[in-house]
Structure 1
Amino acid sequence: MRKYHILTPIIGLLCVLLLQISCSDPWDEHARDNEGLTNEPLLERLEKEPESSEFLKLLRASGVDELLNGNNAYTVFAPENSRVQAVASSLQNDAEALERFVKNHIAVSTHRLNASADTVRLTMLSGKILDFVNGEIDGAAFTKTDQAGADGIYHVITEVLTPRQSLWEYMNAHKDEQQNAFILHLNDYNLHDTAVVEDPEDYYLNNEFLSEVGDVRDETKRFTYFVLNDGDFTAEAQHFLPYVNYRNHADSSYAISQYHILKDMLFDQAYDRDNLPAMLISRSNVPFPVDRSAISRSVRLSNGWIHYLDRPTLPIPNKLVDIYIEGEEPWGFSASVANRTFHRVRKDPFGELFTDIMVQNHGVSSLQVAYQTPRMYSTTYDVYWRALNDVQANVFQQQVGIFEFDTRPSEENPDQEVRESIYVFPYTNVEQNNYSEVYLGEFHLADYNRIVPILRAMGTATHGENTLVLDYLRFVPKLKTN
């Protein structure tokens, strides 16, 4: 008991000390680190900095100095006088450019020198986002750091932080290039008849490139984009045209072909020329081989890089990627069998987990499970399935049919809509404990469009004989030979 009483005041004192430490204000700590400087407003500190005098002139001329009124904390990155003098004349007669330039050197809140390899992205008053990493901001080094005022910090840097265009701004400024012109054309032109005509929340997201490939307006993201010269872009679109026959409409088919050339030339990470990997993978899983020798010039943007190619580097076979339809992701059923439908997690002989669907003992003759695909190229496809029969003592059969995505009135009953058959594969055995793919055959898709694959059970209500099971369907597009 005596030990308890002796320890009680010590523990209490430790708790008080810990409470004081935990409640300390980071700004108070910052003030202690810069004692003697924090009583002066940031603007007054900048006025006393010899190397910030030229930037201070632009700050006041732009009117941005009124923001530094002590109501908020800011970080100012002031370029050396000689760097500011080199660009000042180009800003004198453009008030908007001057304001944007100055704001690109000021970040909200306080940011000390970041000498680590971890990138901190700073949002500047210009709306641009600059990388702060390894003792540099946007590539500019520091000659003086962490100079504190009462309402912020300033650093002196070796280069000006001229606002760069985003990829979207660059495209709009270079409309004479065919790739850019086509992307901007998508603001008002719908590639497909089913496209949304107008999005009242965001007009530009009617543009399929922005909505489906990448929203290159976004300053928070980073992109790498490749551009072909006009002649190569036209030639590539013509070369790919046979794979995108859209309702036998020449103009629409050509526009879709152009889209499919450029959609695999945008990538989500930013790579300068020297750091480009040998292979990039597009969002649609197309492998893009990188040939640095084909890059004629590169342009740095606020949210990435553009690399101009003097020749095409993406072969058509690379674009013909396999399409997988997962069995556990059906679009619909021909009858209600929810209580007999199972999504199963299985492990293959190599230890890889996968999920499939099994519909068993449902009592429905010729039960159908429908799926839908993305838009598929107009070419011939080899079709495979993986279907695991591991819980039944018998072999059963099932079949796959390929149907048009668009419906049309039935000839027998005009009020009823039906899907026309493209091809129906024969019933195929689902052997016991077979983890391998099974080749079903091939079919030809004449039109660029979605399709509806249908998995159909045997025409019997007998349990065990009308089972359906599917891990995936795989569609392998074939290269055209003529």
Structure 2
Amino acid sequence: MRSIFKIILTVFVAIQFVGCTNKNWDDHYLTPPPTINTNVWDAIKSNSELSGFVTLMEKYNYDSLFMTDNTYTLFIPDNSAIAKMAPSQVSDTTILNYLISRHYIQPMDIKGKRKLQTLAKKFSTFESGNGQPTYDGIPLAFESPLYVNGKYFIMGEVALPKLNLYEYFAVNTPYLKAYIDSKDSITVDQAKSTPIGFNDKGQTVYDTVAIKYNSFETKVFPVSTEWRNYTSTFVFPRKANYENGLTAMAQKLGGRFIDYKDIPIKWQNQILIPYLIKQGTFLNMLDVNEFRDKSVLTYKKKYTMMNISGDSIIVDYKPSDPYLCSNGLFYEYANFVVPEKLYSDTIKMQGEALVRPQGVKFVFKDIKDSIIVKNPGGFSPNREYIKGASNDSIMVVNFTKGYKGIFDVDFQSTNLFPRKYRLEVLTKMDIGGIYDIYVNGVLLKRTPTSVNSFDYAEFTKVRGGLIKSVTGATLVPRGQFNKFDFYVDNIIDYGKPKVRFEYKGPGTVANNGLVIDALYFIPVAN
């Protein structure tokens, strides 16, 4: 009996709740505001604070917009703001178009930032949720009630159409803009290209439609296009700050480097700018307090944020001076410094990079990989996996005992910044011979009186296997491996220097051949 009573009581309360709820919603929807039958334009004209805006609208016949059933939201500068406009700003309808949206805007329904498409076809930024709504960062001092065909807001400044990110880069970060432009290419629009016949070889001939394709806009962010729900944040130094950072880098390098003009553009496009993009491009528009320079878990400088590509990065800069674009947000570097690791770290090239597998064997890569081999003896290279090597593997070519013929391997190293280096050649001590080693056509010698670049066996015989570096330090063997080094100071342009190992004959070591574990290009301070 008690259970039945509980059920009856529950049903009664539920009915009462639904009745009250329906009544509240009815009041909400069925009680119209007193302005609901008034034209929004009539309300605007009756506000003396907006007479300057009314005059501009009537000058270009924009008052006719409100003779239709379309709904508009207007962001209206007061008379004081209108009076400050330059003659060029009121010479056409560009700014008027930017102050009017075809959408009904209700601040209580918006949390955070929202992109609005205006009559100018450009997107503005409406933000709500922080106490006072803003339009492109300008506080909205007044919000009208709803009228039959829209509503309006009043602000104390004129909102000017914002540049999109690409337009902003063109004016303020020309180095980034030029980098993006360099990613343009022409490709075929397969959807619009149609087959029209066959050529003499029976191959299909297409009536092709070519289109421009930009890999940056496809893979990173479409900076020249505006979207309602797709924005990004870029952190990049503006022109003066960028050039100052390069000048500081040049002065740190010394020698022939004086200022930013001496830093190779090719290096900037291949190393510096991609690094800055990776470190400073994010999805959505981030407030400055959303940048973290320490892990929220460890409170240390580990991976702290995720960039637009989904990579974990460490934020080691302070963003400042934001500029709101129509499709994102731009921040300047508070203090831009080119990271030394980008131009002063050791550059490594593995010996096994010279070969490729062919069936169950290995062969040298060919001329299309910029590798030229003179090998009349027909000796096959191999990639051997040995723990303790620089990459746990080496490239080795075994010659016949006492071979005195020709063997040269000519290749390009990895890209190097133009400066002085100490080149370390990592090799295996029980295979060798007498070699001349060239970089960009210049024979490398360990001493001015050296005849050849290196004969490892002579060191094992005379010095017990201990080789002195050109710095004076002793290069201690690591198990089967040792190394020798040279100074290289003829790399004057950014790029891949040519390296050649030229066999001159057998040494006194029992096994003749060539072993390259790795080449280390170690920058040397001027």
- With structure 1 as the length reference, what TM-score do the two structures score? 0.53
Change beyond 3 A, Cα 1:57–1:204: farther
Worse-matched range after superposition: 82-91 or 224-233: 224-233
Q: Does 1:50 align with 2:42?
A: no
* 1:317-396 map, 5 Å: 317=341, 379-380=347-348
Give the alignment partner of residue 175 of structure 2, picking from 147, 167, 178.
178
Determine if contact 2:116/2:123 at 8 Å carries over to the other structure. yes
Q: Does 1:216 align with 2:230?
A: no
Give the distance between the partners of 2:292 and 2:126, measured in 1 at CA.
21
Change beyond 3 A, Cα 1:185–1:91: same
Find the counterpart in structure 2 of residue 389 from structure 1: none
Q: Which amino acid aligns with 1:226?
A: F
Q: Determine helix, strand or coil for the equivalent of 2:145.
A: strand
Give the distance between the partners of 1:205 and 1:159, measured in 2 at CA.
39
Determine if contact 2:386/2:392 at 8 Å carries over to the other structure. no
Cα deviations by residue, 1:205-243 (Å, 9 ceiling, x for unpaired)? 5243x2333332345313133125464576699999xxx
Give the distance between the partners of 2:355 and 2:22, measured in 1 at CA.
68
Cα deviations by residue, 1:306-362 (Å, 9 ceiling, x for unpaired)? 4267x7424142799xxxxxxxxxxxxxxxxxxxxxxxxxxxxxxxxxxxxxxxxxx
* 1:160-239 map, 5 Å: 160-173=158-171, 177-188=174-185, 197=187, 205-208=213-216, 210-217=217-224, 218-219=226-227, 220-227=230-237, 228-229=239-240, 231=243
Q: Determine helix, strand or coil for the equivalent of 1:147.
A: coil
CA RMSD of aligned residues (A): 5.4
Q: Which amino acid aligns with 1:289?
A: D
Q: Which amino acid aligns with 2:329?
A: G
Q: Which amino acid aligns with 1:380?
A: K
Give the distance between the partners of 1:237 and 1:72, measured in 2 at CA.
58
Give the distance between the partners of 1:278 and 1:105, measured in 2 at CA.
38
Determine if contact 2:80/2:156 at 8 Å carries over to the other structure. no
Identity of aligned residues (%): 15
Give the distance between the partners of 2:67 and 2:343, measured in 1 at CA.
56
Please report how far the alpha carbon of residue 178 of structure 1 lies from its aligned counterpart in structure 2 after TM superposition: 3.3
Give the distance between the partners of 1:21 and 1:316, measured in 2 at CA.
69
Please report how far the alpha carbon of residue 440 of structure 1 lies from its aligned counterpart in structure 2 after TM superposition: 5.9
Find the counterpart in structure 2 of residue 121 from structure 1: 114
- With structure 2 as the length reference, what TM-score do the two structures score? 0.49
- Aligned pairs, how many? 338
Please report how far the alpha carbon of residue 130 of structure 1 lies from its aligned counterpart in structure 2 after TM superposition: 0.7
Worse-matched range after superposition: 81-90 or 298-307: 298-307
Q: Which 5+ residue runs of structure 1 have no aligned equivalent?
A: 189-195, 241-249, 321-376, 383-400, 429-437, 449-476
Please report how far the alpha carbon of residue 276 of structure 1 lies from its aligned counterpart in structure 2 after TM superposition: 6.2
Give the alignment partner of residue 301 of structure 1, picking from 291, 300, 325.
325
Change beyond 3 A, Cα 1:254–1:167: closer
Give the distance between the partners of 1:265 and 1:274, measured in 2 at CA.
17
Find the counterpart in structure 2 of residue 267 from structure 1: 281
Q: Does 1:426 align with 2:386?
A: yes
Give the distance between the partners of 2:189 and 2:37, measured in 1 at CA.
51
Q: Which amino acid aligns with 1:130?
A: T
Find the counterpart in structure 1 of residue 105 from structure 2: 111
Please report how far the alpha carbon of residue 379 of structure 1 lies from its aligned counterpart in structure 2 after TM superposition: 3.1
Q: Does 1:17 align with 2:48?
A: no
Q: Which 5+ residue runs of structure 2 have no aligned equivalent?
A: 192-209, 254-263, 295-303, 372-380, 396-411, 416-518
Give the distance between the partners of 2:182 and 2:148, measured in 1 at CA.
51
Change beyond 3 A, Cα 1:407–1:120: same
Determine if contact 2:116/2:124 at 8 Å carries over to the other structure. yes
